[in-house]
Structure 1
Amino acid sequence: MDEPPPLRRNTAFQLLWIGSATSDFGTQLTRLAMPLLVLAVTGSPLWAGLIAGARSAATVLAQMPAGVWVDRWDRRRTLVGGQLVQAGVAALLAALVVAGQTLMWTFLVLAVVDGVCTAFIGPARSIAIRGVVPAEQLPTAFAQEEARTHAAWLAGPPTGGLLYGLGQAVPFVVDAVTLLVSAVCTTVARVPRRPGPVPPPAGEPAAGEPVPGDAMPGDAVPGDAVPGDAVPGTPSMGRELREAFRWFWRQPGLRDSSGTVMMLNLLGGATILPLIVLIGERGGDSVVTGAVLAASGIGGLAGALLSGRTGALLPPGKLLLAVVGIFGGAVVLETLPFGRWWPMLPFVCISLATPALNVVMNAVVTRLVPEEMLGRMEAVLTVVGRAMAPLGPILGGFLAATLGGAGALLCIGGALLLTAAGAATSRSLRTFTGERAEAVRPHQRF
């Protein structure tokens, strides 16, 4: 069999990557601009947290139906449509700011619409990558995706701070333009509308093929439709989601990993607003704040480049425990009274640790999950992992308003360290390796 061409010559993937990198850059512009705008209008960290929480909640609540529909729909149209709607949201937000109509309820509504679009774009993009990249090149592709994300984190916040200084609406205008560019790249890339099957390793059944003695997705179980039932065509959404949840529940290592990630997303999401408040308390302006937040991109790029070596040091379960512990310790260190620039250094440490985990877990999920269930499992793992994420910005805003930036970060860092200690008591998490055999017999994102 001929070797596939190098990933750098895979035009469809590279166009998809360029479009995603462009839109991620725009998203990171508004990551800083939105809380700065809300703080300028209301003076309340809690309001900023409520708006960020509303967007996250919309993404989580829409994730389940989105996962089912992405498995059924044309993935290319789903990606392009979601990006165009998000571009419209950003443009409308910029127009409201220019017109002086900075009403919080309009910000909440637009945040919800943007979050729903994200619920569809995420799984559609992940599956599109599998559709254009050979199976043996997926780890390299995911590493490039991770580098893209952190490059956006590096360039986006400081650029967003500079653009915000030029005008409150400017970052949102640029965000709209980047989303339009991403939609064009997705269209030109002509990613498969539905991906083709990926051959299983030698000696293993194809995705969806029954294994003697095992209950696999699609098998008849009590309460499900069986042959002879009057259920023509596509199964119901409820049945498809039940299949996905049953498969997930039979994976102890993946299940416990997702529970730990749920706490990591809650507490990690709570850190940004207190950090912004802390920098402001120490005399930093929007440019300083953007530069400090860009530290996550600096560490993330380095971490993505080293993700192959770092991910090989520990199996996925132990790697997750290490990342949560490092995250907690770094958040505590951010509170040391060394000036407005000091939090940049611990922030770099946080972002150095996470790329390897993201790459490893993406590869694990791609390897374990049957092809016909990818969209649904992307939804299940996202919903489980992010079930409490909408509360993160609200928690961070409340703690910052009550305790100030440093006090809030101390509380959050301590909670992360306790999470790492509690998760370490799970044997299935400590021994989780993500090998395919674990998912087949017995059934066992991050």
Structure 2
Amino acid sequence: MPRTRRMPTATDTTMKVDIGSSTDVPETTDTAPTALPADSAAVRHGATLWGNAPYLLLMTGKTGQLVGAGVAAFAVPLVAFAVTGSVFLAGVITAVAEVGVLVVTLPAGMIADRVDRRRLIIVCSAIGIALWASLAITDAAGALGGWQLAATLAAASAVAAFYGPAETASIRFVVRPEQLGSAMAAMQGRSAAASLAAAPLGGLLYGLSRALPFVAGILGYLVAGITALAVRAPLNDPPSSEQASGAGSIAEGIRFVLGVPFLRLGVVVFAAINLAFDGVVVGVNLHLVAAHTAPLAIAMVDVAVGITMIAGSVLAPTLVKRFPTGWLAVACLIPSGLGAVGMAVTDDYAGYIVWSCVMTAFIPTVNAGLLGYAAAITPLSLQARMSSVVMISSLAVAPIAPVIAGWALPTLGVPFTLGAFGALLLASTVALGVARSVRRIGRPGTWESDALTAAAG
């Protein structure tokens, strides 16, 4: 789903997947979507979403992890500058934090599909606690250096890359297919709320002590680990005795993604949408910085967007239930493109706030529908690998948007730069709209039958 840099988005912040109709799924016995096991948590606890204890525990744990990691991440560039005294080195350290994600995303998805996900979440939580604790302790002692900070951040991003697919795939295992749209919408709201809370909390804690934001990271993983311990339901099927090798397992996930027509399209189109979103957000932020806008005023743009996305998350379940998902996603992306173009034709601070809210208002609906449908018809054994394979495209474009925006703003001007990104967003929306595999996606009540039809085929 659309990633943005400063604006809080889906987590959970990537435009991940939308899969076409049942006839688009490769007809192999290894990857055909299957119905939920009779003893799965989704069957035993699925009468109502909010009465589903495993789902609520996983949601609580991920919320704690998101808030803690967000608070710590807010302080990273500030701490990096404090320990190095160099803006350039601070930027390098911040960039290094993304290396871990890029390196381990594909193997993380493979491992999350092969091992006990509950134990994996617990192990990730324990390692996360140790990593953030090492930073908090050494910084409090005045011994934190740039190399340690960079290496620890890279390791922490790798841990988060393992935690994410494990938690996302676990949600699919404990939630009924017809409830996935509502579940994903709730996850969108959770991510927006966590992002909204992280920045001001991070600023407050950093003002008290440089080490305190890292303590928040510790507490976030502590909550995640405790809630995972409390989950008694299985979060995946027992491992098969005929599992492929590690490389073969990753290749199986890649073959599945490439074997689905919409996913082949989505890997490219979603990357373009994410590039456009990132470009607009970074472009506006850089323009406001260059215009000597007060930092608090810049932060208020993020606050307004966060509130808008929370409101959109509340509305999303109703929209997803009432309208076919394919057409709904395309319709909801149109305001995003118009909002991006609107920011290109305004040079007013209030206008940036308004158009930013327009651009992100219906993104929770897009994410809830597409992620819910993807999870509903993807085989339980391939959930994490599918997620990680598609996520690679978003991670690949993440470093590109700042480079393009940083070059284009002074060279081509603000209107042309933002307008170009807005045009890319609208063109990507049109590409989705003309795709037959998108147009055929129905309401949540049809998702499970799509999966069963594919399995029968």
Candidates 160, 169, 175, aligned match of 1:118? 160
1:185-244 CA-to-partner distances (Å, cap 9, x unmatched) read: 2212334253489xxxxxxxxxxxxxxxxxxxx9xxxxxxxxxxxxx8432223333333
Candidates 378, 382, 394, aligned match of 1:369? 378
Candidates 263, 268, 282, aligned match of 1:259? 268
Match of 2:277 in 1: 268
**90-99 vs 71-80, which deviates more?**
90-99
Deviation at 1:275, TM superposition (A): 4.0
> Compared with structure 1, are the counterparts of its residues 401 and 30 closer, same or farther at alpha carbon in structure 2 (3 Å cutoff)?
farther
Q: What is the rounded CA distance, in whole Å, between the counterparts of 1:381 and 1:147 in structure 2?
A: 22
Q: What is the rounded CA distance, in whole Å, between the counterparts of 1:172 and 1:401 in structure 2?
A: 36
1:304 aligns with 2:313: yes
Match of 2:30 in 1: none
Do the aligned residues in 1 keep the contact of 2:68 with 2:221 (CA within 8 Å)? yes
> Compared with structure 1, are the counterparts of its residues 159 and 10 closer, same or farther at alpha carbon in structure 2 (3 Å cutoff)?
same
1:128 aligns with 2:165: no
Question: How many residues of Structure 1 are paired with residues of Structure 2 in the alignment?
Answer: 407
Candidates 302, 322, 337, aligned match of 1:293? 302
Do the aligned residues in 1 keep the contact of 2:98 with 2:157 (CA within 8 Å)? yes
1:145 aligns with 2:187: yes
**28-37 vs 251-260, which deviates more?**
28-37
Q: TM-score, normalised by structure 1?
A: 0.76
Candidates 161, 181, 200, aligned match of 2:223? 181
> Compared with structure 1, are the counterparts of its residues 191 and 441 closer, same or farther at alpha carbon in structure 2 (3 Å cutoff)?
closer
Q: Which AA in structure 1 matches 2:58? A: L
Give the 5 Å matches for 1:47-196.
48=91, 53-95=95-137, 99=142, 101=144, 103=146, 105-192=147-234, 194-195=236-237
Match of 1:338 in 2: 348
> Compared with structure 1, are the counterparts of its residues 323 and 135 closer, same or farther at alpha carbon in structure 2 (3 Å cutoff)?
closer
Do the aligned residues in 1 keep the contact of 2:46 with 2:175 (CA within 8 Å)? no
CA RMSD, 1 decimal: 3.8
Match of 1:225 in 2: none
**330-339 vs 303-312, which deviates more?**
330-339
Q: Which AA in structure 2 matches 1:344? A: I
Match of 1:391 in 2: 400
Do the aligned residues in 1 keep the contact of 2:189 with 2:309 (CA within 8 Å)? yes
Match of 1:347 in 2: 356
Q: Bigger relative contact order, structure 1 or 2, given CA contacts below 8 A and separation 6+?
A: 2
1:192 alignment partner, SS class: coil
Do the aligned residues in 2 keep the contact of 1:264 with 1:324 (CA within 8 Å)? no
> Compared with structure 1, are the counterparts of its residues 320 and 2 closer, same or farther at alpha carbon in structure 2 (3 Å cutoff)?
closer
2:362 alignment partner, SS class: helix
Gaps of 5+ in 1: 198-217, 219-231
Q: What is the rounded CA distance, in whole Å, between the counterparts of 1:161 and 1:144 in structure 2?
A: 26
Q: What is the rounded CA distance, in whole Å, between the counterparts of 1:391 and 1:92 in structure 2?
A: 32
Give the 5 Å matches for 1:184-223.
184-192=226-234, 194-195=236-237
Match of 1:7 in 2: 49
Deviation at 1:329, TM superposition (A): 3.4
1:20 aligns with 2:30: no
Q: What is the rounded CA distance, in whole Å, between the counterparts of 1:178 and 1:144 in structure 2?
A: 19
Q: What is the rounded CA distance, in whole Å, between the counterparts of 2:410 and 2:73 in structure 1?
A: 20
Do the aligned residues in 2 keep the contact of 1:156 with 1:294 (CA within 8 Å)? no
Gaps of 5+ in 2: 1-42
Q: Which AA in structure 1 matches 2:348? A: F
Deviation at 1:65, TM superposition (A): 1.3
**1-10 vs 113-122, which deviates more?**
1-10
1:237 aligns with 2:246: yes
> Compared with structure 1, are the counterparts of its residues 249 and 326 closer, same or farther at alpha carbon in structure 2 (3 Å cutoff)?
same
1:277-330 CA-to-partner distances (Å, cap 9, x unmatched) read: 344344444444333212232111111111123335664444444455433433
> Compared with structure 1, are the counterparts of its residues 78 and 411 closer, same or farther at alpha carbon in structure 2 (3 Å cutoff)?
same
Do the aligned residues in 2 keep the contact of 1:267 with 1:415 (CA within 8 Å)? yes
> Compared with structure 1, are the counterparts of its residues 283 and 391 closer, same or farther at alpha carbon in structure 2 (3 Å cutoff)?
closer
Deviation at 1:75, TM superposition (A): 0.8
Q: TM-score, normalised by structure 2?
A: 0.74
